Structures are given as C-alpha cells and as structure tokens.
Structure 1
Amino acid sequence: MDMTDIRSPNLARGRLTGKRMARGEGGIVVSQNREAARIGAEVLKEGGNAVDAIVAASFAVGVLEPWMSGVGGVGAMLVREEGGAVTAIDAGARSPAGLDPADFPIVGGSDGDLFGWPSVLEDRNVTGARSIGVPGLVAGLGAAHARFGRMSWAELVLPAAGIAEAGPVVDFHTTLWIASEMRRILRDEACSGWFLPEGVPPITPAAVTGRVNRLPNAALAQTLARIAREGPGILYGGELAEALAGDVQAAGGYLGTADLAAFEVAAGPAATQAYRRHLVHYVPGLNGGPTLAHMLRACQERHAPQGETPGAADVLAYCEAMQDAWAHRFETMGDGARESLPSCTTHLSAVDRDGMAVSLTQTLLSLFGSGVVSPRTGILLNNGINWFDPRPGRPNSIAPGRKALSNYAPAIMTGPDDDVIAIGGSGGRKILPAVFQALAQVADFSHALDEAVAAPRLDTSAPPLVVADARFPADILDAVRARHATVLCERMEHPNHFTTLGAVRRRGAMNEGFAEPFHPWADAVSEDDTKPLAG
C-alpha cells in the first residue's frame, strides 16, 4: 500500500531531543509542565508521599496549562502502595440528570472535533454550556488524599491558588494553544476575558523589555483558596457549588447543584492484565483501561518477540493487536467514529522514596473543554458530553445521569525484581497505542524507561489508517506499508501525531522519571532538584 508522507520539510530528520532522565533514591514527579512537577517534588522533599505530590502537582498544572485540565475537569488515578496493592480511583465525567437528549439534534456532516461524531445543532455537544458534564476531578483528588495522603490538604492546594492570582507566565507555547482555539474562546465572555485580555492571543515580550506577560484569574484564585481551606467537598455543596451551577445554567447548561452533590468517586482494587512476566494494572470501567488490556492480551496470544530490539515482525504484531482492540472497543463500548484529532489532557506520574507510585490522568476532554468559564468561580469547564455518541440507540448515546466513555488510560506495570512503572499520556485515543507500545517494549525487550518513552511509535487510533513515526528503520516502514494504509509523520509536540507520555519507574531502591522528549514543557523533577525557577 502507498505511504503518505506529511512530514514538515523544515524539521531535522531522525533527531531525538536530549531531555534528561531523572534518577536517584529520592522521589520524582513527571508532568507536562516543569513547574507543576517541581511543586510536586517540593512536596516530596517536605515529607509528603507520592499521593501528596500528585495532588499538589494536579492543582498546579490545572492553572499552569488550563486549556488541558483543571478543577472543572475529570480524571482517573492509580495508587500502588509500598506493599504492592494497587487502588483505582475513578472520577470520570457524568452527564447532568436534567440533560435532555432531544436538545442535541443531528444536522448532518461531521463535527470536526475529537471523535468525528455527526454534527449536532450549534455544536451543543462540543462547545458551550450544554456540553458540560459533572466535574469530578476535585472529588477524586480528595478521595485519594483522604485514603493515602500524609500532608495537610491546604498545603497541597494553596500553591495553585498563588499561581492563579499572579497568573502563569506567557511563552510561545501558551500563545500557540490560545491562538489555535481562538474561535472557541471568543464564544464566551469570561473565557475570552481570561485568555484574550486584549482581544488577541497574548505574546511573550522580548527579553530586552524586562517584562513578562501573565494570565491571572482572580476568581479562580479565590476558588482554589476556598477549596484549600474548606476541603474538596466545598465544590460539591454550599455557596461555591451554587455559584458554579448557577453560572452554567445562566449560560444555558444543565449542571445543577443536585448533580454536584450526587457525584460519587469510584474507588477500589485496580483491574489487572498479565503480560509476559509482568502485570499491568488499570482503571476498570468506561475508560481506556479495558482496551489497553485487550491490546496486551491480543499481542501475547499471537506473538512471541525475537531478538533484543523490536523488528518488523514485532512492530506488525503490535499493530495488529492494537487494531483488534480498536475493533472490539468500537463494537462493544460505543466509542464512535474512526477519527483522532488533538485533545485536551494532562498526565502526571510520581514515585516517592518509600516506593509508593501514582499515575493520574486528568482532562477537560477537548482543548479548552467547553470553552465556558464560570464568571463567579473562574473555573474553565469540561465538555464531557462530547464523549457520548449523539446518535440515539448506541451503547454510548447521550442520556441524562450517565457515565461517559473516556479514552485516558493511566497504568501501573509491575514485574520481576520489584520493578514498578507508573505511566500515562495525553492525546485522546492516541494515549492507548502509546502506553501499550511503551509497556510492551519494556516487557518484551527490557528497554530502559527513557528508551521506551522515546522509541518510535505507531498510532492506530483512526483505523484502518496507521500513522507511523518517521524515525522507524526503513525495513519496518516497508513492512507496515505493505499491509496497511500508512501516513508517515514527525514526532512533534504540535500537532501531536502520537501522544505525550510521562512515566516513573522504581527498581529496588532506585527511582527514575522521564517525560515526553518532544514536548517543550514536560519534565521529570526529583525532590533532590527542587530549586525554584527564576521569574
């Protein structure tokens, strides 16, 4: 079959960036934003455990890159205790009880967002107040902290409030993301007031001016300060919940105080899939975890790796296992049309010096979520209704009071010699192939953590098309092209053709952390390397 080459002519070929792997006996936090990772590592240095670090980094990253995640979003977490037990904490999106499916009539065509659903009138399932699901992330973080946390809740949340008050610094990356979604941002006055303060995307002044641009959010700072002082429950009952629900309903949405009060976090033992000599632990239910497990099962049943590095037969086996899993997902879980576009998600991983490991993925779903900011709380809200199929009578059709089928897939893999890896990524459906391939290469070829994260990948999330990393050797690309319609792409941060991975690892008493090498902000920070950043 033909291979389409859509690589940029301006990029160097085959070059891997020189991002370092953090390593040592101290705890490590990995995030898509280095400052968030540093805040989490500082918590470890002050005596907190991995859950404490993740809570602090989660709140911080929701302010530092608010277009990806935040307190208006949802998420899922895995916690491996020092003794080996793995707990899954699911704070995924639910549709409001008052939602009316008749308000989402299909008008034909494709919506052009993440899943290529048939277009709905006014894009109500994608943008605006009707697209908002119940934001469960804060409840999930609260449940994790109540069960595993060591430091006080307020200590972990207050750094994010300070960031919101001062405003994160604008750099080229900030400008890029805001400019890419300017049309959606302009639809909501409070959203445009935050991200387009002068009516256009903010830019970074030249260094010689001695200035920086920031994006403060006073209302969000006050909200975070209240959550810090009064606990996570304040977002789900009382004045803050009334303000949030009132703002959404004033904008035409369904979210009510009863929806917030009724939200429940699902917490219990993680599901487990055996792979080679390892166990992969994942969040059960309506997320990417069961599909990841299917990929692992299919690969193990059909293929035995040969050699010390992946060859053409191995890569083809990975490809076919992923395609088998996608077919099963689309038929039985209702994850819709075969299209995969940029998404809005953040992953964080942490390990502490005692061996506790955490994997958390949090999201607003689409970039900037619903594009709606609650004026009184400063919260940018998710568009969780976009996870539902707008076509009636499907396994995942839009309905009131229903759990959404999401794509995130935090995972923890345990293996011989007390080997533990906590991994996950951002990138919508592209998360699943990336996590699968990284874990398979560790289990099949004993790859180091940085090798597994940085290795060339295939993406199969838009079947039957296969997207191939241009860094694969020619013989592997030829083998893939011979069987599949293939597009050749660069590994880059934007557009993200694959995903943004981050992972930590513990073997014996030694910890490691590595972040996606092609993401300009992503980094792994050890508690032994936590000097505050200048500016």
Structure 2
Amino acid sequence: MTTDNFSNSQSTRKTVVTAVDGGVVAAQHKRGAQIGAEILSAGGDAIDAAIATSFAMGVLEPWMSGPAGGGAMMIYRADEDRTYTINFGMRSPAGLDLADYPLSGAGVAGDLFPWARVVGDRNQIGGGAIAVPGTVAGMELAFNRFGTMAWRDLVSPAAKLAGDGLPVDWYAALLIAASTRELAKNPTAAETFLEDGQWPTIAGWTALSDKRINLDKMAVTLQRIADKGAREFYEGELAAEIVADVQAVGGSLSLDDMKSYQATVSDPLATSYRGGTVYTPASMTAGENLAECLGLLEQQSFDGAMPGADAYGAYVTALKATYERRLRDMGDVDDSRAPTCTTHFSVTDRHGNMVAVTQTLLSIFGSKVVLPGSGLLMNNGILWFDPEQGKPNSLAPSKRCLMNVCPLIGHHKDQRFAIGASGGRKILPAVLQLTSFLMDFDMGFEDAFHQARLDYSGGDAVIIDQSLSDEIVRAISDRHHCVTTRRTVFPYAFACPAGVLNRGNINQGMTEIMSPWGDAVAETHTPIADK
C-alpha cells in the first residue's frame, strides 16, 4: 500500500530538443535558456551564451543562484580540442571570527549537511552565513579568455529581465512558501518576496495571474555591472555598497575580501572510462569523487542493454565509498595541491564548443538576506564548512568552500556531452548515473534523462525511485537500508540535471523531466556569416 496521495497512472515526459547546424542551451528555466539561445542566434558562441544565461538565471531563479553566489564551469574548445575548468567557488571572509559560531549542543543542523548546530544557526541564516561571492568573477574570467561579444550585450538582457519583474506562478509561490519563516527575518527579503509576512498569493482556482515580484534594485545593479564591468562588483562603488550592507546585518565580508577575490582557470581532471574520457573540476568540488566512482565502476561489466540490479548496486557501492572519504578527508587544507540550492545549465554551439555551468547560493534563498542597496540575494556559503574544529573542512577565515557542484564534459565514441545538476549532495549521484547511462549502455539523451535513478549522498538510507523494478529494489534492499519514493516536482528526492550533447552537426538538449520550468532551447537561425 502506498503512503502518498499521488496518481500512479500519471506519466511525465519531455522531448529532447534537437538542432542541426545550430546550438542548444539547456537550463532550469526556459527563459534563461532562451536568453542564451538568442546570444547564439546573434553570432555568439557557447561561452558568450553561458555568460548571458548565468546572469539571466540569477534573475529568473534568484533563490537558486545569482551574482552573489559561486560555482564552477567546464569549457570545451573545439578549435583547440581542449577542455578547461573555471572555478569561481566562494571563500570565507578573512575577518571571520570562529568565536561568532559557537556550537549550541542542540543536535544536528537542519539544512543540507550533518554538521553540529551553531547557536542561532549563524552559519546558515543571516549576515554571518555570507561568504565572498565568486560568480561575477567566474563569468569575467570566461569572458576575458574566450568571449567574442561585448560584455554589456551579455549582461544587459538579465538587467531587462529584472526590470520586468519576476512572474509569480504556482511554482514560484510554492518555493517562496517553503522559506517564508526565514525570509521574514530579513526586512528587505520580506519586502521583496512576501506579502504581509506570507508567501505571495497567485490567483483563484481557475484564474490567471500577472503578479510580479519587484526586482528594480537588482535591475539597476545588473546594469551597473553591464556598463562598468565586473570590477564594479569587486572594486567599485557597488562593491563598497555590498560590503556596507553585509556588515550592517552582522557579516564579516570586507572590501579587501572583494578586491582580492580571483576566479581560476586550470586543466580539468581527466578520467578514462569505457574507451572515452570524462572531464571534471579537479578540486574543491565533487569532481574527484566522480572520478573515484568511475574508477570503481570500470572494474565491473554490466549485463543487458539497460541498467539493471548489477549496475544500480554498483552505483550505490561506489557512492558509499566516495562519500565516506569526502565527508572525512576533503576540504581546503593545503593551497599547494589545488588551484587558487543551485542551478545548472549547459550550452553547445554550431562549432562544437561546449560549456557546463553549475552556480549556487548554496541553500535555497541562500542566507535569506536581500541587501537593501543592491537588491541582491546573498549566499550562505559559510554553511559548507564544518563548524567543529580539527577537520579538513573545518570553518576558518580565508578558506575555500568545498562545493558539491560537479559539471562535466564527456567524450565517448562519436559524441561529446556536457551535463551537471542542482541538488546539493544529490548532484554527484545524478551525474554519475547519467554518465553511466550514456557510456555503459549507449542510451540516447532523451532515454537517459527519463531513466529512473537512485540517490545515496551520505547518511543512512539509499533513496530509490519507486518506478524501478521490484527486482532492482529487492537487490539493493538486501544489502542496504533503502527508502522508496516517487520522482516529483517538489520536493526533489533526486537532483535536477540539465545537459547538451553534440554529434557532428547535430546538437541536443534535455532537462530534468520533473522540472516545470526547465527546458532546452535551440537557436532560431544560423548567422549569415556562418552560412
């Protein structure tokens, strides 16, 4: 007997978007993908489209990512046949005082990580949770190295979106409702997202609504970044305004933190798998964990044309091994060995260039702080650190955050793909299984995204999609503590992936089938210069 209220006969599907001699953008919001596709249509390449999509997604999903967040990017340059990593993860402020984060002794924190709870959840909500943001610097570095269009033309579309306001449909209202209590604690956040201290109403039972959230301050901020460049965010008057507003709510972010922040470009970690290669960020992400999992999987062979009990069992074994090591050993403990609730989007263009970007505020709505001057929703990157001392990932000043992000670019046989996901610690299991579906079973892109997945991302239980066969569920349950659940729109029991695939002159895009906003969009035409 099932314990939920949802239909067992309803089916949800998405259709893969295919372009011939043109590019595709796949993102968690359709309009963000459209912004990127318009850049491709205007003659931009995958890097230009990714930068524009990044800023647009910070407006369309402000609770997931934005200029005040961080992340990582994988870039494949077809003209060089070379892959790069750009890491723009957040850092803890240099002036962070550990005495401001005493343990409460009240058990485990309630958001994302199994850390001991801090008094007042200071590492999770409010000014004390804010880390040095990296997203703008990451886009700046990608632009300086690979961009072909004017910076202003890539950022201004996001400013226009913000000026138009954020439409409040049922999904936006649902996400806001889930964080109402915390948003109410910050006056500007409450003014921005709530109505009389409650989530915004949308409409009656059958009515349509044109309600919009006012993002005029964010629009002005984005236009300043568009007109004056990324350094305005880190060194200009805007930087000084951001720092003053963060300090006013108890944060330790300083102007020196902003001025000294640098995104980095480096060679990725290249992992051979099934005759192909998977490229991931080399450090301070889940990239090396994915490489470890692929190494364990390659020691086995799987029966059948579709993933069965042997494959799913191998996924769990690999994930348990790598998460045990990740939670125990990984963190920013040695600067010499590494280069110095989330959204994912992927882009491929007519030339075969590819980009996979995962960017985040960390928790949904980040620190739940909206700055009164800039209108920016700030990250809560401090939550990435373990507040207990004596561990590799323990909280400390001037330390890089160990992110869960895992954008990747894979090459197998005659195709190349760029995928990633949002979903915190659920990201790694999702991208591991999608990679296996594509490389172990030669699944088509649409089939791979529809294939049921499981999740193990630490903790006690393996989460299994209840649509998997009884044979698979029994085989996993015989060896592990398991919980079955359905793949739903909200909340997500599994991560939310998006990806693109290139084969010759054919490009395809696909997003998580349960995401009501996510979509892939193809460019509308091939520019005359390329015909």
* 2:423 matched residue in structure 1: 427
1:472 corresponds in structure 2 to 468
Residue of structure 2 equivalent to 1:48: 44
Question: Does residue 369 of structure 1 match 2:366?
Answer: yes
Q: 1:7 to 1:297 in 2, by over 3 A?
A: farther
Q: Is the 8 Å Cα contact of residues 7 and 490 (structure 1) preserved in structure 2? A: no
Classify the secondary structure of the residue corresponding to 2:510: strand
Q: Name the aligned partner's letter for residue 495 of structure 1.
A: P
Mapping of 1:309-328 within 5 angstroms?
309-328=306-325
Question: What amino acid sits opposite 2:19 in the alignment?
Answer: G
CA distance in 2, matches of 1:459, 1:207: 35
Partner of 2:74: 78
Report what 1:22 is aligned to. 17
Which residue of 2 is the match for residue 122 of structure 1?
120
> How far apart, in 2, do the equivalents of 1:334 and 1:252 lie?
26
* Corresponding letter in the other structure for 1:117: W
Kindly report the root-mean-square deviation, in angstroms, between the aligned alpha carbons of the 2 structures.
Answer: 1.6
Q: Aligned residue for 2:411?
A: 414
Give runs of aligned pairs for residues 105-184 of structure 1, distance below 5 A.
105-108=102-105, 109-184=107-182
Q: How does 1:333-344 map to 2 (within 5 A)?
A: 333=330, 344=341
Q: Is the 8 A contact 1:118 1:390 kept in 2?
A: yes
What per-residue deviation string (whole Å, max 9, x for no partner) do you get for residues 249-299 of structure 1? 011110010000000111111111111111110111111111111111111
Q: 1:105 to 1:464 in 2, by over 3 A?
A: same
Q: Give the SS at the match of 1:59.
A: helix
TM-superposed CA distance for 1:364, in Å, is: 0.3
Residues 461 and 208 (structure 1), Cα distance of their counterparts in 2 relative to 1, 3 Å cut = closer
Q: Is the 8 A contact 2:25 2:34 kept in 1?
A: yes
2:337 aligns with none
Shift of 1:18: 2.4
Bigger mean CA offset, 162-171 vs 88-97: 162-171
Verify: 1:381 aligned to 2:378, yes or no.
yes
SS in 2 for 1:321: helix
**Is the partner of 2:112 in helix, strand or coil?**
coil
- SS of 2:478's partner is helix
User: What's the offset of the Cα at 1:166?
Assistant: 1.7
Letter in 1 for 2:402: L
2:192 maps to 194
Distance 1:202 1:188 in 2: 16
Q: Secondary structure at the match of 2:159?
A: helix
1:444 and 2:440 are equivalent in the alignment = yes
How far did residue 209 of structure 1 move? 6.6
Say whether 1:64 aligns with 2:60. Answer: yes
User: How far is the alpha carbon of 1:207 from its aligned partner?
Assistant: 9.4
Is 1:39 the counterpart of 2:35? The answer is yes
Deviates more, 1:89-98 or 1:214-223: 214-223
Residue 503 (structure 1) shift: 0.5
The alpha-carbon deviation at position 7 of structure 1 amounts to 5.7
**Which piece of structure 1 moves more, 463-472 or 498-507?**
463-472
Contact persistence 1:298–1:324 (CA under 8 A): no
The normalised TM-score by structure 1 is 0.94
CA contact (8 A) 2:357 2:407 kept: yes
Gaps of 5+ in 2: 333-340, 527-531
SS of 2:117 mapped into structure 1: strand
Fraction of identical pairs, as percent: 41
Cα offset, 1:73, TM superposition:
0.5
3-state DSSP class of the match of 1:358? strand
Tell me how far 1:17 sits from its aligned partner.
1.6
Q: Report if aligned partners of 2:134, 2:261 keep a CA contact under 8 Å in 1.
A: yes
- What does the per-residue CA deviation read over 1:391-419, in whole Å, with 9 as the maximum and x for residues that have no partner? 011111110000011101001101222x1
In structure 2, C-alpha distance between the alignment counterparts of 1:314 and 1:124, rounded to whole Å: 41
Query: Residue 402 of structure 1: which of 399, 404, 422 is its match?
Result: 399
The aligned residue for residue 290 of structure 1 is 288
The structure 1 residue matched to 2:242, chosen from 220, 241, 244, is 244
Residue in 2 that maps onto 1:279: 277
Q: 1:36-95, CA deviations, whole angstroms, 9 ceiling, x for partnerless residues?
A: 101110110110101111111111111111011111111110000013200100000100
1:346 matches 2:343: yes
Shift of 1:219: 1.3
1:338 corresponds to: none
**CA–CA distance in 2 between the matches of 1:283 and 1:333?**
14
Instruction: Give unmatched runs, 5+ long, in structure 1.
Output: 336-343, 531-535
Counterpart of 2:458, as a letter, is A
Q: Distance in 1 between matches of 2:518 and 2:283?
A: 29
**Cα separation, 2, equivalents of 1:332 and 1:261:** 31
Alpha-carbon separation, structure 1, partners of 2:2 and 2:321: 26
Aligned-pair distance for 1:493? Answer: 2.3
Contact 1:7 1:489 survives alignment (8 Å): no
Partner residue of 2:329? 332
Q: Deviations over 1:211-245 (max 9, x none)?
A: 50001222111110000001111100021000000
Specify the alignment match of 1:227 in structure 2. Answer: 225
Aligned to 2:335: none
Alpha-carbon distance in 1 for matches of 2:231, 2:517: 32
Q: Residues of 2 paired with 1:215 and 1:41: CA distance?
A: 25
Which deviates the most, 445-454 or 379-388?
445-454
Runs of 4+ in 1 over 6 A off after TM superposition: 207-210
Query: Which residue of the partner structure matches residue 500 of structure 2?
Result: 504
Which deviates more, 451-460 or 358-367?
Answer: 451-460
SS state at 1:483 partner: coil
Query: How much does 1:334 deviate?
Result: 5.5
Contact residue 6 and residue 488 of structure 1 kept, 8 A:
no
Q: Which amino acid aligns with 2:396?
A: A
Amino acid at match of 2:13: G
In the other structure, the counterpart of 2:524 is: 528
**Counterpart residue number, 1:460:** 456
